[in-house]
Structure 1
Amino acid sequence: MDIVLIRHPAVDVEEGVCYGHSDVALADAPEASAAALAVRLATLQVPAPRVLLSSPLTRCASVAAALAANFGCAYSCDDSLKEMDFGTWELQRWNDIDRALIDAWANDFEGARAHGGESVEQFVSRVRTWFDALQQTRELSPAYVVTHAGVMRVIAATVLGLPVERCLKWSLDMSGCVWLRRDDVTHDWSMVRWNA
């Protein structure tokens, strides 16, 4: 089973703004981004997708639709693939958020919800539930999943048996791709590419 996770391209948001669950526009046309991604994936010899799955947020869904048209396959959106909900911090500059609240979050990384949105624990549970269901449907392989950095890190941590916090330190560019493969006999996962 092959799953290729694709981070959405750059967004039209000022640097330093928290936009996790918010529906923000892409900086460039989704068709151009999808064409560039298709070329890169072909260069990496990633198998063409049987299906494209996506976060419903515009920055992902518009690219997924363009990729699906390029590959001639179906695509669908799932709320489980949205980025973490940062509640009242959404669309706020990180530097403008009360430092005490950010420190409290850091001190209880998994459980804190000072922003009123999702805790990391809730977010991880949402993504892992989706991923567990995906693994039961072999006919979807290879699948491309257009989503967000947080979702990609949770899935990578899950398949590699690592704490999510550890994967937060790994660089993941806009339009970065993560190729994961599961052995259909042993059911062991491996990472073929990170941030390709």
Structure 2
Amino acid sequence: MATITQIDILRHGLPEGDNCLRGHTDFALTEQGFSQMQLAVQGLKTLDTVVTSTLQRCAVFAEHIAETQNVEINYSDDWKEMDFGEWDGLTHQQLTERVGEDVDAYWYNPWQVCDDGTAPHKGETLEQFDCRIKDAWQQLLQQFKGKKILLVTHSGVMRQLLRQLFEMPQNTVYLHRINLPYAARVRITVYHDGNLDWPQLQWPPYSD
């Protein structure tokens, strides 16, 4: 029998660490950011579970909504933002001063790797990040098939997931064409038909 899994994907609200490459750096969620997230989930009811990145800019609100709706919460490092290694937590000015033109070259082609196969910043390569999100998504669908899920995560994660679901090519175009402001919320429903999954983007306003 076919089933439907509903996943509301929520980006964190405004965190501390303005104008920097946050990545895995664990900046706190601001009061404004918390309020942004509260507004974004108004009307979202009857959740079965909350899944969240372990970084506090996501986890703090995820814990709040799980407690409010009296549902379980699942923490996962797999839903963390991309690891930018030596660049992580630096402001854009610091990056320019320390790395110079190599920063621009990286953003023009973030799929590039060094001769030894590592990322220029010594963190995750975009290929590794892409694979991590793909595996996390498949695990989510297997673990919570047929459930209503709130997934609290990051803009980089959401862009990468949308790239995969809509089969966008491995270039930089999707990074510039998908705008996800703080507390952006996207709903994906997945229709499970036998061994096939049919994901569909739901356009707001969302209704339960």
TM-score by length of 2: 0.82
Q: What is the distance in 1 between the residues matched to 2:89 and 2:58? A: 18
**Residue in structure 2 matched with residue 171 of structure 1 by the alignment:** 179
Per-residue deviation, 1:30:
7.3
SS of the counterpart of 2:136? helix
Verify the 8 A CA contact 2:78 2:133 in the aligned structure 1: yes
State how 1:9-48 maps to structure 2 within 5 Å.
9-14=13-18, 16-28=19-31, 32-33=35-36, 35-39=38-42, 42=43, 46=44, 48=46
- Corresponding position: 1:127 with 2:128: no
8 Å CA contact retained: 2:48, 2:147: yes
CA distance 1:193–1:20, shift in 2 (3 Å): farther
Query: Is the Cα–Cα contact under 8 Å of residues 21 and 83 in structure 1 kept in the other structure?
Result: yes
- Counterparts of residues 107-146 of structure 1 (less than 5 Å): 108-112=109-113, 113-139=119-145, 141-146=147-152
Question: What aligned pairs does 1:61-140 form with structure 2 within 5 A after superposition?
Answer: 61-97=59-95, 98-106=99-107, 108-112=109-113, 113-139=119-145
Please, what is the CA RMSD of the aligned residues?
2.3
Do residues 183 (structure 1) and 191 (structure 2) align?
A: yes
Aligned-partner SS, 1:179: strand
Is the partner of 2:31 in helix, strand or coil?
coil
Structure 2 unaligned residues grouped into runs of 5+: 114-118
Spell out, residue by residue over 1:29-82, the C-alpha distance to the aligned partner (whole angstroms, 9 max, x if none). 77645543331xx1xxx5532110000000101110001012110001100000
- AA aligned to 1:182 is V
Structure that is richer in strand per residue: 2
2:7 to 3, 17, 25: 3
Q: Secondary structure at the match of 1:188?
A: strand
Distance 2:92 2:33 in 1: 27
Rg (Cα) greater in structure: 2
Compute the TM-score of the two structures, normalised by the length of structure 1: 0.86
Could you say which structure has the greater relative contact order, defined with CA pairs below 8 angstroms and 6 or more residues apart? 2
Asked whether the equivalents of residues 33 and 182 of structure 2 are also in contact (C-alpha less than 8 Å), the reply is no
Which amino acid in 2 is paired with 1:67? I
8 Å CA contact retained: 1:87, 1:117: yes
2:116 matched residue in structure 1: none
Output the CA distance in 1 between the equivalents of 2:128 and 2:205: 25
Over the matched positions of the two proteins, sequence identity in percent amounts to: 24
Cα 1:140–1:73 change in 2 (3 A) is farther
Q: 5+ unaligned residues in a row in structure 1: which ranges?
A: none
Q: How many residues align?
A: 190
Look up the SS of the partner of 1:17 in the other structure: coil
